[in-house]
Structure 1
Amino acid sequence: MNLIQNVDWAALAPPLVTAVAAVVVLVADLFLPAGRKAPLAWVTVGGLALALAALAPLWNDDRTTFCLADDPGLCSYSADRFALLVQLLVLGGALLAALLTVPELRGAGEGDRDGLPGGEFWFLLLSSASGAALLPAARDLATLVIALEVTTLPAYALVGLRRGSATGPEAALKFFLSSVTATAVGLLGVSFVYAGAGSLFLSEIAAELPEADPQLATLAKAGVALTLVGFVFKVAAVPFHFWVPETYQGAPLPVAGYLSVVGKTAGLAGLALVTTGAFPGQGNVWGPPLAVLAGLTMTVGNVAALRVAADGAHSAVRVLAWSSVGQAGYLLVPLAAAGFVEDGGAARDAVGTALAYALMYGAVNLGAFAVLALVVHDRRAAPPGTGRRVVDFRGLFAERPLAALALAFFLLCLAGLPPGVIGLFAKVAVFRSAVDAGLGVLAVVMALNVAVALGYYLRWTALLFQPGPEPQDGPGSGAGDAAAPAGRPTFAVSTAIALAASVALVLSGAPQLILTFTGGGL
């Protein structure tokens, strides 16, 4: 028997290139002087761009590697259409987050006690991105859990990495403790599933779990439910959402944007793999709970965001944090619908709908964070906190017309209103998946939540075009700070806004592309 493992390096290229870039940044950081670490930012951006380019040769050819020698059909890594779509989203999201971080790290290591340590930050970001790129290609539970933890462990440090931050360490600790608890519960579920199926490969579990010993039936069902917990936490679904507002608020702004898109997408991909990949025969076990979680998540997230946005003095990051919780509810609807359909093709289409919504959400949500980063950069000379409040966006159109128009477009996409056609298109697709699966109540709950969300998205959009506050004399005047003259935008942040807006505009111009692009799901 030939036990030599053949590795398809081309299939592994996206996560591998990202991991190699992380090692290069870590080693270079050891030898570069404190004031000469700026090139590491562009090494990071270049590494992520190269990882994205490595997706192109794989697009029309499903490839597998790390297969069993005695059963080549069982593989731990599969570069199929689902994996490539998620890798495109997480690596693109990491690239935009890296661009947002360039002004944050400008001057870090040069005596700025409140800055981010450049080398460590880039290494942690790339390490997390490599795990997020590995996760959607994992085809066994061991690789899946390891990839999830590689994605999450560096994120704990990213949240609390800023020097002198009063809120970062507390936010990182809350994130860490809640995440570890969810992971422990998920691992317990994996052990139960292994006891029932006798394998960790997703395809083997799908085949063997329905035929498990009847004495282990209850244990297997408990394992299915518990396994979902670790992934539902990463998606930030209710009641596993409580870490989100504090973590996003305490984290550096680019890290909050990264978690809201890349971390959420990784959790969504893992959830899709274990539900429709490993547990397709247990839809009656995981379908109803996911439907309930979807309804609760969108309701709690949107109502909380509406309440926070009603007071303009609250942080815009906190509004986006609660908004991301609400959006997670919409992401869960197609996955819940997949548990109620009998046909495997319909389940795959439901997963494709979830991916389509994730692509729309990822582009416009990171775009919103990019404009927020630009406003904070403009107010960097003002008292701490200025530029982060919702009220600080009043009159942005007079200061920065293009940035205001971009943010208005991103918010309208999230709301599902024209001219954000792609947001409307994605919401209709999600709504249709619920109706087709017979989830009429969930469809009604979603429609009501879309109406609730209009309250805070439109309120914020209207602020952008209102007259700005009049400058006031005297130090510490909030109005005067808000009206401070706009500084010169950095090239990196402007590029991030332009990229996000370009993707959203192209998809809004041809919205049918996104479902064609993601059609077929798993």
Structure 2
Amino acid sequence: MNLDLTTTGDLARALLPELTLTTAGLLVLLVTAWRHTSARDLRIASWVTLAGLAAGGAAVWWLWWHTARSAGPPSMIAVDDFRFVTDALFLTAAGLTVLVSFDYLEREGLLVPEYYVLLLFATLGMMLMAGGEDLMVVFLGLELMSVSVYVLAGINRKSGAAAEAALKYFLLGAFASGFLLYGIALVYGATATTNLTQIAAQVRSLSLAQSPMLLIGLGLLLVGFGFKVAAVPFHMWAPDVYDGAPTPVTGYMATAVKAAAFAALVRVLLEGFGDVAAWRPIVWWLAVATMVVGNVIALAQRRVKRMLAYSSIAHAGYLLVAVAAGMGPGSAALLVYLLAYTLVTLAAFALLAAKGRDDEREVRIDDLAGLGHRRPWLALALAVCMLSLLGFPGTAGFIGKWYILVAATLMHQTVLAAILVLTSVVSAGYYLPVIMAMYMKPEPFDQAHAGVHIGRAAGLVVAACVVGLLVLGIRPNGLLDLARTSAIVVPAPTPAATATGR
């Protein structure tokens, strides 16, 4: 099905998932304005949210099933499999976050139905980011997502840590958005367009690959995206924000928000700046610094939530290796890793929310001692999560890292691949102690009656994610085929560009 996005009807069809989610967000807003005083009202809002996410997923599936593609002149929104796969990922992450939040919000006394409105609009922003063929659409989607997540991070008004996290995220996020917007302005000044396809055409036809204005603009874009993906040295906000935000929100930020930023980054770099060689060494060094710093600092963490925050930074480094690989293999590896990372991280934070009742920030690795004897199934689930994050064979995390290694090797990034392997070995120093504490340390006397409170919905999320990790780790062929067919493939540089070294 070819869609002419210059016509209103076809544009509406192309934007059907986004329009569906917008409608769902407005509907939940009306529901929460009418009923917002009891736990039952909160449940109603959550079920309406799930229905809206399901409807958005059905819209994505409809476009995907009909093999929708854009026809005609360059448009502001992409209609391709990469967009459909990432949209499905965002909707899945949001749905799982809603299920984890069911019991968490009630248990913590957070009767805030607007939580679900913000979750819907944050997901809408992510979909616009990943599908944007125009820098302005990407920026608008990023701001819609960011503003919603700023509020979600501080949704617990009783927590000083949450307020601190929200303020830090807001101030630094606004600063990063300024860099991004200024970069867009400079790119527009150099190319007279913000459309990615037209930017690439202008770079080739006008030989702009060495234009100072374009290169400065591209550098500022990398700074803005570097903040959103928590790449070193733009990562300083992440540990404190992840540590202070409500645990389900932290899981959502570490997965869906990161995935949206990477999806937008890889589309912008490959489709708009594929002929500009200057960004590749920058991404190379960002990947190295992020892998090394994230893993080394994580070794010193004793609080589980903060350890996972630095672990998230390290995984951003692995994803940057896929971005540096570029072309088809790199973007395919990015999709595989994002799916595996989303499943394992959401499951890990769901388990942490269950263990960390009342003050989840203080759950230390030693607090998990004896969990393997007291709650064997939950301990097994957390152990699988740690092994998948480590990249242990038989889990989806291993498949994700292996595919990134293959992509990096194919694109002659062997040094990056070697650093990825070495830093993954280092990560065993903070993942394995979690497993050792659960199974090899005696339970402290004062923890003998400490409860692990996991609701039915959160338990279902954990079970589904763990099963998914194992199935994808053992039978990954379907996932790999999907990633290959959904990868972003850009044309090779023109002979003229190659001759001039671009």
TM-score of the pair, normalised by structure 1: 0.88
Question: CA–CA distance in 1 between the matches of 2:21 and 2:365?
Answer: 35
CA 1:404/1:7 → structure 2, altered by over 3 Å: closer, same or farther? Answer: same
Which of 491, 499, 515 is matched with 2:464 structurally?
Answer: 499
SS of the aligned residue for 1:74 comes to coil
Amino acid at match of 1:462: M
- Are 2:300 and 1:297 aligned? no
Contact 1:117–1:162 (CA under 8 A) maintained in structure 2: no
Which residue does 1:47 correspond to in 2?
A: 52
Aligned length: 481
Contact 1:196–1:212 (CA under 8 A) maintained in structure 2: no
CA 1:366/1:198 → structure 2, altered by over 3 Å: closer, same or farther? Answer: same
Which residue does 2:249 correspond to in 1?
A: 255
Contact 1:315–1:389 (CA under 8 A) maintained in structure 2: yes
Question: CA–CA distance in 1 between the matches of 2:73 and 2:379?
Answer: 52
Which of 323, 327, 330 is matched with 2:311 structurally?
Answer: 323
Question: CA–CA distance in 2 between the matches of 1:115 and 1:294?
Answer: 40
Question: CA–CA distance in 2 between the matches of 1:160 and 1:498?
Answer: 28
Amino acid at match of 2:343: A
Which of 279, 288, 308 is matched with 2:281 structurally?
Answer: 288
Structure 1 segments unaligned to the other structure (5+ residues): 108-113, 309-313, 339-346, 472-479
Q: Report Cα offsets for 1:218-259 as digits up to 9, x if no partner.
A: 111111221222222111110111000000111000010000
Q: 1:215: how far off?
A: 11
SS of the aligned residue for 1:240 comes to coil
Which residue does 2:334 correspond to in 1?
A: 354
Which residue does 2:21 correspond to in 1?
A: 18
SS of the aligned residue for 1:34 comes to coil
Question: CA–CA distance in 2 between the matches of 1:88 and 1:3?
Answer: 25
Contact 1:305–1:322 (CA under 8 A) maintained in structure 2: yes
Which residue does 1:337 correspond to in 2?
A: 325
Structure 2 segments unaligned to the other structure (5+ residues): 489-502
Q: Report the more deviating stretch, 15-24 or 289-298.
A: 15-24
Amino acid at match of 1:49: A
Question: CA–CA distance in 2 between the matches of 1:432 and 1:215?
Answer: 29
Contact 2:36–2:113 (CA under 8 A) maintained in structure 1: no
Contact 1:196–1:216 (CA under 8 A) maintained in structure 2: no
Question: CA–CA distance in 2 between the matches of 1:280 and 1:4?
Answer: 29
Amino acid at match of 2:392: L
CA 1:29/1:291 → structure 2, altered by over 3 Å: closer, same or farther? Answer: same
Q: 1:7: how far off?
A: 4.1
Which of 196, 214, 225 is matched with 1:202 structurally?
Answer: 196
Question: CA–CA distance in 2 between the matches of 1:98 and 1:243?
Answer: 25
Question: CA–CA distance in 1 between the matches of 2:44 and 2:9?
Answer: 36
Contact 2:390–2:431 (CA under 8 A) maintained in structure 1: yes
- Are 2:283 and 1:276 aligned? no
CA 1:124/1:230 → structure 2, altered by over 3 Å: closer, same or farther? Answer: same
CA RMSD of aligned residues (A): 2.1
Amino acid at match of 1:364: V
Q: Report the more deviating stretch, 214-223 or 364-373.
A: 214-223
Amino acid at match of 1:6: G
Question: CA–CA distance in 2 between the matches of 1:102 and 1:40?
Answer: 10
Question: CA–CA distance in 2 between the matches of 1:214 and 1:430?
Answer: 31
Which residue does 1:220 correspond to in 2?
A: 214
Which residue does 2:91 correspond to in 1?
A: 91
Which residue does 2:491 correspond to in 1?
A: none
Amino acid at match of 2:471: V
Q: 1:266: how far off?
A: 0.8
Amino acid at match of 2:344: V
Question: CA–CA distance in 1 between the matches of 2:313 and 2:216?
Answer: 26
Contact 2:36–2:111 (CA under 8 A) maintained in structure 1: no
CA 1:232/1:488 → structure 2, altered by over 3 Å: closer, same or farther? Answer: closer
**Superposition pairs for residues 55-454 of structure 1, below 5 Å?**
55-63=60-68, 72-106=72-106, 115-212=109-206, 217-282=211-276, 284-308=277-301, 314-338=302-326, 347-377=327-357, 380=358, 384-385=359-360, 388-420=363-395, 422-454=396-428
Question: CA–CA distance in 1 between the matches of 2:378 and 2:21?
Answer: 31
CA 1:222/1:485 → structure 2, altered by over 3 Å: closer, same or farther? Answer: closer
SS of the aligned residue for 1:259 comes to helix
Question: CA–CA distance in 2 between the matches of 1:145 and 1:138?
Answer: 9
Contact 1:316–1:388 (CA under 8 A) maintained in structure 2: yes
Amino acid at match of 1:31: W
